[in-house]
Structure 1
Amino acid sequence: MKIAKKIALVLLVVLVGMQFYRPEKNVAVGDYVAAFETETNPSPEVKAILNTACYDCHSDNTEYPWYNNIAPVSYWLADHIEDGKKHLNFSDWQNYDAKKKDHKLEELIEEVKEGEMPLKEYTWTHGDAKLSQEQISTLLAWADGVRANY
Protein backbone atom coordinates (compact mmCIF):
# COMPACT_ATOMS: atom_id res chain seq x y z
CA MET A 1 0.00 0.00 0.00
CA LYS A 2 2.84 2.36 0.79
CA ILE A 3 4.37 1.88 -2.66
CA ALA A 4 1.02 2.64 -4.35
CA LYS A 5 0.82 5.95 -2.49
CA LYS A 6 4.35 6.85 -3.58
CA ILE A 7 3.57 6.03 -7.20
CA ALA A 8 0.36 8.08 -7.03
CA LEU A 9 2.28 11.02 -5.54
CA VAL A 10 4.95 10.86 -8.23
CA LEU A 11 2.27 10.72 -10.96
CA LEU A 12 0.49 13.69 -9.41
CA VAL A 13 3.72 15.72 -9.33
CA VAL A 14 4.43 14.82 -12.97
CA LEU A 15 0.89 15.75 -14.02
CA VAL A 16 1.07 19.10 -12.22
CA GLY A 17 4.52 19.75 -13.71
CA MET A 18 3.21 19.05 -17.20
CA GLN A 19 0.75 21.92 -16.83
CA PHE A 20 3.69 24.38 -16.85
CA TYR A 21 5.49 22.92 -19.89
CA ARG A 22 3.11 22.91 -22.81
CA PRO A 23 3.74 22.08 -26.44
CA GLU A 24 3.89 25.03 -28.83
CA LYS A 25 0.53 25.91 -30.35
CA ASN A 26 -0.11 25.73 -34.08
CA VAL A 27 -1.29 29.29 -34.67
CA ALA A 28 -0.66 31.31 -37.84
CA VAL A 29 -1.29 34.96 -38.55
CA GLY A 30 -3.01 36.01 -41.77
CA ASP A 31 -4.65 33.92 -44.44
CA TYR A 32 -2.84 30.64 -43.91
CA VAL A 33 -4.55 28.73 -46.76
CA ALA A 34 -4.81 31.51 -49.37
CA ALA A 35 -2.39 29.94 -51.87
CA PHE A 36 -4.14 26.59 -51.67
CA GLU A 37 -7.63 28.05 -52.10
CA THR A 38 -6.53 30.39 -54.90
CA GLU A 39 -4.98 27.54 -56.86
CA THR A 40 -7.64 24.90 -56.26
CA ASN A 41 -10.67 27.22 -56.29
CA PRO A 42 -12.97 25.28 -53.95
CA SER A 43 -16.67 26.12 -54.00
CA PRO A 44 -18.19 27.68 -50.86
CA GLU A 45 -19.50 24.21 -49.90
CA VAL A 46 -16.05 22.63 -50.23
CA LYS A 47 -14.43 25.55 -48.36
CA ALA A 48 -16.86 24.95 -45.50
CA ILE A 49 -16.01 21.23 -45.44
CA LEU A 50 -12.27 21.93 -45.47
CA ASN A 51 -12.61 24.54 -42.75
CA THR A 52 -14.74 22.31 -40.54
CA ALA A 53 -13.08 18.93 -41.07
CA CYS A 54 -9.54 19.45 -42.36
CA TYR A 55 -7.75 22.70 -41.60
CA ASP A 56 -7.37 22.23 -37.83
CA CYS A 57 -4.90 19.37 -38.33
CA HIS A 58 -3.71 20.00 -41.88
CA SER A 59 -2.73 23.69 -41.88
CA ASP A 60 -0.62 26.15 -39.91
CA ASN A 61 -3.58 27.31 -37.82
CA THR A 62 -5.60 25.30 -35.34
CA GLU A 63 -8.74 26.36 -33.50
CA TYR A 64 -8.05 24.86 -30.09
CA PRO A 65 -10.83 23.53 -27.86
CA TRP A 66 -10.92 24.44 -24.16
CA TYR A 67 -9.59 21.03 -23.12
CA ASN A 68 -6.32 21.73 -24.90
CA ASN A 69 -5.35 23.67 -21.76
CA ILE A 70 -5.08 20.43 -19.80
CA ALA A 71 -1.99 18.27 -20.03
CA PRO A 72 -1.60 15.52 -21.17
CA VAL A 73 -4.41 16.28 -23.67
CA SER A 74 -2.39 19.22 -25.03
CA TYR A 75 0.49 16.86 -25.86
CA TRP A 76 -1.85 14.38 -27.52
CA LEU A 77 -3.41 17.10 -29.69
CA ALA A 78 -0.02 18.55 -30.60
CA ASP A 79 1.11 15.10 -31.75
CA HIS A 80 -2.02 14.65 -33.90
CA ILE A 81 -1.54 18.07 -35.50
CA GLU A 82 2.15 17.47 -36.17
CA ASP A 83 1.37 14.10 -37.76
CA GLY A 84 -1.47 15.58 -39.83
CA LYS A 85 0.73 18.37 -41.17
CA LYS A 86 3.46 15.85 -41.99
CA HIS A 87 1.05 14.04 -44.32
CA LEU A 88 -0.65 17.14 -45.81
CA ASN A 89 -0.24 20.79 -44.97
CA PHE A 90 -2.58 23.05 -46.91
CA SER A 91 -0.58 26.06 -45.70
CA ASP A 92 2.51 24.67 -47.46
CA TRP A 93 0.70 23.99 -50.76
CA GLN A 94 2.70 26.56 -52.76
CA ASN A 95 5.92 24.65 -51.93
CA TYR A 96 4.66 21.36 -53.40
CA ASP A 97 5.47 20.57 -57.03
CA ALA A 98 2.69 19.47 -59.40
CA LYS A 99 3.42 15.76 -58.91
CA LYS A 100 3.30 16.09 -55.13
CA LYS A 101 0.07 18.12 -55.29
CA ASP A 102 -1.53 15.40 -57.40
CA HIS A 103 -0.33 12.75 -54.95
CA LYS A 104 -1.64 14.68 -51.93
CA LEU A 105 -5.06 15.03 -53.56
CA GLU A 106 -5.01 11.34 -54.44
CA GLU A 107 -4.31 10.53 -50.77
CA LEU A 108 -7.07 12.91 -49.66
CA ILE A 109 -9.53 11.10 -51.92
CA GLU A 110 -8.40 7.69 -50.69
CA GLU A 111 -8.52 8.61 -46.98
CA VAL A 112 -11.97 10.21 -47.22
CA LYS A 113 -13.38 7.32 -49.29
CA GLU A 114 -12.13 4.80 -46.75
CA GLY A 115 -13.59 6.82 -43.87
CA GLU A 116 -10.13 7.37 -42.36
CA MET A 117 -10.46 11.16 -42.50
CA PRO A 118 -11.42 13.08 -40.57
CA LEU A 119 -10.16 11.02 -37.66
CA LYS A 120 -12.78 9.47 -35.42
CA GLU A 121 -11.04 11.05 -32.41
CA TYR A 122 -11.59 14.46 -33.99
CA THR A 123 -15.25 13.91 -34.82
CA TRP A 124 -16.00 12.79 -31.23
CA THR A 125 -15.56 16.37 -30.07
CA HIS A 126 -16.24 18.14 -33.37
CA GLY A 127 -19.58 16.70 -34.42
CA ASP A 128 -19.87 19.10 -37.36
CA ALA A 129 -16.69 17.58 -38.82
CA LYS A 130 -18.40 14.22 -39.30
CA LEU A 131 -19.06 14.23 -43.04
CA SER A 132 -22.38 13.23 -44.52
CA GLN A 133 -22.44 11.13 -47.69
CA GLU A 134 -23.39 14.26 -49.64
CA GLN A 135 -20.41 16.18 -48.22
CA ILE A 136 -18.10 13.29 -49.02
CA SER A 137 -19.37 13.18 -52.61
CA THR A 138 -18.96 16.95 -52.97
CA LEU A 139 -15.42 16.88 -51.58
CA LEU A 140 -14.37 13.90 -53.72
CA ALA A 141 -15.82 15.40 -56.92
CA TRP A 142 -13.96 18.65 -56.25
CA ALA A 143 -10.67 16.84 -55.51
CA ASP A 144 -11.00 14.71 -58.66
CA GLY A 145 -11.58 17.86 -60.70
CA VAL A 146 -8.55 19.61 -59.22
CA ARG A 147 -6.38 16.53 -59.82
CA ALA A 148 -7.14 16.80 -63.53
CA ASN A 149 -5.13 20.06 -63.54
CA TYR A 150 -1.98 18.26 -62.42
Structure 2
Amino acid sequence: MVLILIAMQFYSPTKNISPGNHTQIFIKETNPSPNLKALFETSCYDCHSNNTVYPWYNNIAPISYWIDSHVKDRKKNLNFSVWQNYSLDKKDHLLDEIEKMVVQAEMPLTEYTYLHGNSKITDKEVVEIIAWVKQTRIIYQLGKQPK
Protein backbone atom coordinates (compact mmCIF):
# COMPACT_ATOMS: atom_id res chain seq x y z
CA MET A 1 0.00 0.00 0.00
CA VAL A 2 2.80 2.42 0.88
CA LEU A 3 4.54 1.68 -2.42
CA ILE A 4 1.35 2.48 -4.31
CA LEU A 5 1.02 5.81 -2.52
CA ILE A 6 4.65 6.63 -3.28
CA ALA A 7 4.23 5.67 -6.95
CA MET A 8 1.08 7.82 -7.17
CA GLN A 9 3.18 10.89 -6.28
CA PHE A 10 5.06 10.53 -9.58
CA TYR A 11 1.99 10.04 -11.81
CA SER A 12 -0.29 12.97 -11.12
CA PRO A 13 -3.39 13.63 -13.19
CA THR A 14 -3.19 16.29 -15.89
CA LYS A 15 -4.15 19.64 -14.44
CA ASN A 16 -7.21 21.50 -15.70
CA ILE A 17 -5.41 24.66 -16.78
CA SER A 18 -6.08 26.67 -19.93
CA PRO A 19 -4.42 29.92 -20.98
CA GLY A 20 -6.43 33.00 -21.83
CA ASN A 21 -9.84 34.23 -20.83
CA HIS A 22 -11.69 30.93 -20.63
CA THR A 23 -15.05 32.43 -19.61
CA GLN A 24 -15.15 35.47 -21.90
CA ILE A 25 -18.14 34.34 -23.96
CA PHE A 26 -20.15 33.37 -20.88
CA ILE A 27 -19.50 36.78 -19.30
CA LYS A 28 -20.27 38.68 -22.51
CA GLU A 29 -23.48 36.77 -23.15
CA THR A 30 -24.90 36.73 -19.63
CA ASN A 31 -23.59 40.12 -18.46
CA PRO A 32 -23.30 39.49 -14.71
CA SER A 33 -22.62 42.43 -12.41
CA PRO A 34 -19.00 42.99 -11.36
CA ASN A 35 -19.90 41.47 -7.97
CA LEU A 36 -21.32 38.30 -9.58
CA LYS A 37 -18.40 38.07 -11.97
CA ALA A 38 -16.03 38.06 -8.99
CA LEU A 39 -18.26 35.57 -7.17
CA PHE A 40 -18.17 33.16 -10.12
CA GLU A 41 -14.37 33.40 -10.11
CA THR A 42 -14.10 32.50 -6.42
CA SER A 43 -17.01 30.08 -6.11
CA CYS A 44 -17.64 28.38 -9.47
CA TYR A 45 -14.84 28.36 -12.02
CA ASP A 46 -12.43 26.01 -10.24
CA CYS A 47 -14.82 23.12 -10.87
CA HIS A 48 -16.94 24.44 -13.73
CA SER A 49 -14.44 25.78 -16.27
CA ASN A 50 -11.32 24.80 -18.16
CA ASN A 51 -9.11 26.59 -15.67
CA THR A 52 -8.72 25.48 -12.07
CA VAL A 53 -6.66 27.37 -9.51
CA TYR A 54 -5.14 24.52 -7.55
CA PRO A 55 -4.37 24.61 -3.84
CA TRP A 56 -0.96 23.45 -2.61
CA TYR A 57 -2.36 20.14 -1.38
CA ASN A 58 -3.30 19.16 -4.93
CA ASN A 59 0.31 18.04 -5.32
CA ILE A 60 -0.28 15.19 -2.87
CA ALA A 61 -1.77 11.90 -4.05
CA PRO A 62 -4.44 10.63 -3.59
CA ILE A 63 -5.89 14.13 -3.07
CA SER A 64 -4.80 15.13 -6.58
CA TYR A 65 -6.76 12.20 -8.02
CA TRP A 66 -9.86 13.09 -6.01
CA ILE A 67 -9.74 16.74 -7.15
CA ASP A 68 -9.18 15.67 -10.77
CA SER A 69 -12.17 13.32 -10.65
CA HIS A 70 -14.32 15.96 -9.00
CA VAL A 71 -13.46 18.65 -11.57
CA LYS A 72 -14.05 16.31 -14.52
CA ASP A 73 -17.43 15.27 -13.08
CA ARG A 74 -18.53 18.87 -12.47
CA LYS A 75 -17.48 19.99 -15.94
CA LYS A 76 -19.73 17.33 -17.45
CA ASN A 77 -22.72 19.08 -15.88
CA LEU A 78 -21.66 22.67 -16.53
CA ASN A 79 -18.56 24.14 -18.10
CA PHE A 80 -18.54 27.92 -18.37
CA SER A 81 -15.58 27.69 -20.76
CA VAL A 82 -17.71 26.06 -23.47
CA TRP A 83 -20.85 28.17 -22.96
CA GLN A 84 -20.94 29.01 -26.69
CA ASN A 85 -21.41 25.30 -27.50
CA TYR A 86 -24.65 24.99 -25.55
CA SER A 87 -28.02 25.42 -27.26
CA LEU A 88 -30.46 28.11 -26.09
CA ASP A 89 -32.51 25.41 -24.35
CA LYS A 90 -29.42 24.06 -22.59
CA LYS A 91 -28.31 27.53 -21.47
CA ASP A 92 -31.80 28.25 -20.15
CA HIS A 93 -31.81 24.93 -18.29
CA LEU A 94 -28.31 25.47 -16.87
CA LEU A 95 -29.28 28.90 -15.54
CA ASP A 96 -32.35 27.35 -13.92
CA GLU A 97 -30.09 24.71 -12.33
CA ILE A 98 -27.66 27.37 -11.10
CA GLU A 99 -30.53 29.14 -9.36
CA LYS A 100 -31.83 25.93 -7.78
CA MET A 101 -28.40 24.80 -6.57
CA VAL A 102 -27.59 28.18 -5.04
CA VAL A 103 -31.02 28.59 -3.41
CA GLN A 104 -30.80 25.09 -1.93
CA ALA A 105 -27.21 25.83 -0.79
CA GLU A 106 -25.91 22.84 -2.78
CA MET A 107 -23.34 24.95 -4.59
CA PRO A 108 -20.62 25.61 -3.96
CA LEU A 109 -20.10 22.30 -2.23
CA THR A 110 -19.63 22.40 1.52
CA GLU A 111 -16.26 20.66 1.35
CA TYR A 112 -15.11 23.30 -1.14
CA THR A 113 -16.20 26.19 1.08
CA TYR A 114 -14.40 24.65 4.07
CA LEU A 115 -11.12 24.90 2.23
CA HIS A 116 -11.95 28.09 0.31
CA GLY A 117 -13.64 30.35 2.85
CA ASN A 118 -14.04 33.20 0.36
CA SER A 119 -16.20 30.96 -1.86
CA LYS A 120 -19.22 30.98 0.46
CA ILE A 121 -22.28 32.68 -1.01
CA THR A 122 -24.11 35.14 1.22
CA ASP A 123 -27.87 35.55 1.36
CA LYS A 124 -27.50 38.90 -0.40
CA GLU A 125 -25.51 37.23 -3.19
CA VAL A 126 -28.17 34.52 -3.53
CA VAL A 127 -30.77 37.24 -4.12
CA GLU A 128 -28.48 38.84 -6.70
CA ILE A 129 -27.93 35.51 -8.47
CA ILE A 130 -31.69 34.84 -8.60
CA ALA A 131 -32.35 38.25 -10.18
CA TRP A 132 -29.51 37.77 -12.68
CA VAL A 133 -30.72 34.27 -13.61
CA LYS A 134 -34.30 35.44 -14.18
CA GLN A 135 -33.17 38.36 -16.33
CA THR A 136 -30.74 36.25 -18.34
CA ARG A 137 -33.18 33.40 -18.87
CA ILE A 138 -35.64 35.83 -20.49
CA ILE A 139 -33.03 36.61 -23.14
CA TYR A 140 -32.60 32.91 -23.96
CA GLN A 141 -36.33 32.25 -23.89
CA LEU A 142 -36.99 35.15 -26.24
CA GLY A 143 -34.28 33.82 -28.55
CA LYS A 144 -36.30 30.61 -28.91
CA GLN A 145 -39.45 32.47 -30.00
CA PRO A 146 -40.47 32.20 -33.66
CA LYS A 147 -39.56 35.25 -35.70
Aligned mate of 1:143, from 128, 133, 136: 133
Letter in 2 for 1:146: T
Look up the SS of the partner of 1:56 in the other structure. helix
Q: Which runs of 4+ in 1 moved over 6 A?
A: none
Corresponding residue of 2:81 = 91
Q: Can you give the 5+ residue segments of structure 1 that lack an aligned partner in the other structure?
A: 1-10
Cα separation, 2, equivalents of 1:50 and 1:31? 14
Matching of residue 119 in structure 1 with residue 109 in structure 2: yes
Corresponding residue of 1:49 = 39
Look up the SS of the partner of 1:118 in the other structure. coil
Deviation at 1:45, TM superposition (A): 0.7
Matching of residue 25 in structure 1 with residue 15 in structure 2: yes
Matching of residue 109 in structure 1 with residue 99 in structure 2: yes
Deviation at 1:39, TM superposition (A): 0.5
Corresponding residue of 1:132 = 122
Aligned mate of 1:62, from 41, 52, 55: 52
Q: Is the 8 A contact 1:49 1:139 kept in 2?
A: no
RMSD (Å) for aligned C-alpha atoms: 0.6
Per-residue CA deviation, residues 31-61 of structure 1 (Å, 9 max, x unaligned), is 0000100101111011011011001100000
Cα separation, 1, equivalents of 2:14 and 2:47? 14
Larger Rg computed on CA atoms: 1
Look up the SS of the partner of 2:66 in the other structure. helix
TM (norm. structure 2) is 0.93
Look up the SS of the partner of 2:41 in the other structure. helix
Corresponding residue of 2:90 = 100
Cα separation, 2, equivalents of 1:115 and 1:26? 25
Per-residue CA deviation, residues 98-143 of structure 1 (Å, 9 max, x unaligned), is 0000001011111111110000110010001011101111112111
Cα separation, 1, equivalents of 2:58 and 2:110? 17
Instruction: Report sequence identity in percent.
Output: 51
Aligned mate of 2:28, from 17, 38, 42: 38
Cα separation, 1, equivalents of 2:53 and 2:29? 24
